[in-house]
């Protein structure tokens, strides 16, 4: 299902669909979307700030600011602006439970 998020698609809408999990919910994105595009097309944030109360949704989109690191359920983090979404990816706005 497509949930209204922050991002608005203006062009290139005829790409094949990809499914991924966002905080446990199944979501649809398009092939060639970055993880950032995919998550923000469905939601409003990528993660919570570790140093303040506010959510974060990326800043520079060119791999320089490091604001968009997101958690994967299996552990390793991804820089959302420079990683492409793939079928079945399990992404999360909060750290995995095993994280100390």
Partner 1 sequence: MSRTASPRVVIVGAGPAGIRAAAALVDAGLHPVVIDEGNRAGGQIYRRPPDGFVRTPEQLYGSEAAKARALHAVFDRLAADGRLIHCAGSSVIAMQEGRLHVLGEGGVQIVSYDRLILATGASDRVAPVPGWQSAGVYSLGAAQIALKAQGVALGRRIVLIGSGPLLTLVGAQLVEAGADVAAVLDTSPWHQQMRGFWKLAARPLVALRGLVLRAKLGRRYHAGVSLERIEADGQGVTAMCWRDAGGRQRFTPCDTIGMGWHLRAETHLADLAECAFIYDEQWQQWLPKIDEMGRAGNGVYLAGDGVRLVGADGAEIAGRLAAAACLADLGFSAPSIGADLRKLARLERFARGLACAFPWPAQMMQALPDDAVVCRCENVTAGAVRQSVDFCGGEANRVKSLSRVGMGRCQGRYCQLAAVELAAAQAGCTQDAIGRFRGQAPVRPAPIGAFLRED
Pick between residue 26 and residue 44 the one whose CB is nearest to partner 1.
44
| 8, 24, 97, 100: which one binds partner 1 (CB under 8 A) | 8
**Site map (CB under 8 A) of partner 1, residues 38-67, x = contact:** --xx--xx---xxxx-xxxxxxxxxxxxxx
Cβ atoms of 68 and 6 within 8 Å: the answer is no
Please give, one letter per residue, the 3-state secondary structure of 50-90. Answer: CCCCCEECCCCCCCCCCCCEEEECCCCEEEHHHCECCCCCE
The residues of the shown chain that bind partner 1, judged by CB under 8 A, are 6-16, 31-34, 37, 40-41, 44-45, 49-52, 54-67, 69, 76, 82, 84
């Amino acid at each position: 299902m497509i949930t209204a998020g922050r991002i608005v698609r203006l062009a290139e809408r005829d790409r094949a669909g990809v499914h991924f999990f966002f905080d446990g919910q199944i979501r649809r994105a398009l092939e060639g979307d970055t993880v950032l595009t995919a998550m923000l097309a469905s939601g409003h944030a990528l993660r919570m700030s570790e140093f303040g109360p506010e959510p974060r949704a990326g800043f520079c989109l060119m791999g320089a600011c490091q604001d968009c690191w997101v958690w994967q359920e299996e552990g390793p983090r991804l820089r959302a602006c420079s990683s492409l979404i793939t079928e079945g990816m399990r992404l999360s706005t909060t750290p995995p439970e095993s994280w100390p």
